[in-house]
């Protein structure tokens, strides 16, 4: 359920942005989330029935993060998950992704078949954080810094 919720949240993000390259990346991610959901839905006592989750998808996320970060100013403070509607949608998707990761971590996995899924979800939440910053940067949306001294 949580992976489906994440996939739907990414659909909302896609509907709120115009950058074709980002949209294509998000479509790719949506397809991988369907794969991930199918693996999670397979009986864990029959790992031979599970389709493998390709590690190149983890590399895709890592490379995408690196490319986006090159375009962004260095982050020196925490930022609030806000700024514009599309940036906020991305942050909502990111938090759903973190919840999905926690749920997969909690599943018993004696065979280790879920390890790549956990890594993928972890990288995906990082990807979504950096994507929110990129969309804010590209649209001229100010990142709101967290200040614990402010009332």
The pLDDT-based confidence of 127 (bands split at 50, 70, 90) is: very high
47-103 confidence digits (pLDDT tens): 555 666 778 999 999 999 999 999 998 888 888 887 889 999 999 999 999 999 999
Read off the pTM: 0.89
- What whole-number distance in Å separates Cα of residue 40 and Cα of residue 114? 8
Average pLDDT along the chain: 88
Q: Would you call 107 helix, strand, or coil by DSSP?
A: coil
CB 138 within 8 A of CB 77: no
Q: Any idea where the domains of the chain sit in the sequence?
A: 2-138
Q: How much is the pLDDT for 107?
A: 78
| Backbone torsions φ then ψ of 124, nearest 5 degrees | -65, -40
- What whole-number distance in Å separates Cα of residue 12 and Cα of residue 34? 16
- What whole-number distance in Å separates Cα of residue 21 and Cα of residue 75? 23
Q: What is the dihedral of CA 35, 14, 79, 57, to 10 degrees?
A: 30
- What whole-number distance in Å separates Cα of residue 3 and Cα of residue 138? 28
Q: What is the dihedral of CA 129, 71, 139, 132, to 10 degrees?
A: 0
Does CATH place domain 2-138 in 3.40.50.800? no
């Amino acid at each position: 359920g949580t992976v489906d919720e994440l996939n739907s949240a990414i659909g909302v993000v896609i509907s709120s942005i115009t950058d074709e390259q980002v949209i294509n990346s998000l479509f790719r991610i949506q397809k991988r989330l369907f794969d991930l959901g199918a693996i999670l839905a397979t009986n864990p006592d029959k790992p031979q029935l599970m389709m493998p989750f390709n590690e190149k998808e983890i590399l895709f996320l890592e490379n995408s993060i690196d490319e986006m970060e090159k375009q962004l100013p260095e982050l020196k403070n925490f930022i609030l998950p806000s700024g514009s509607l599309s940036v906020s949608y991305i942050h909502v998707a990111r938090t759903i992704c973190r919840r999905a990761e926690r749920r997969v971590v909690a599943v018993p996995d004696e065979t280790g078949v879920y390890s790549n899924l956990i890594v993928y979800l972890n990288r995906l939440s990082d990807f979504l954080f950096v994507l929110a910053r990129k969309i804010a940067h590209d649209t001229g949306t100010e990142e709101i810094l967290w200040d614990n001294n402010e009332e």
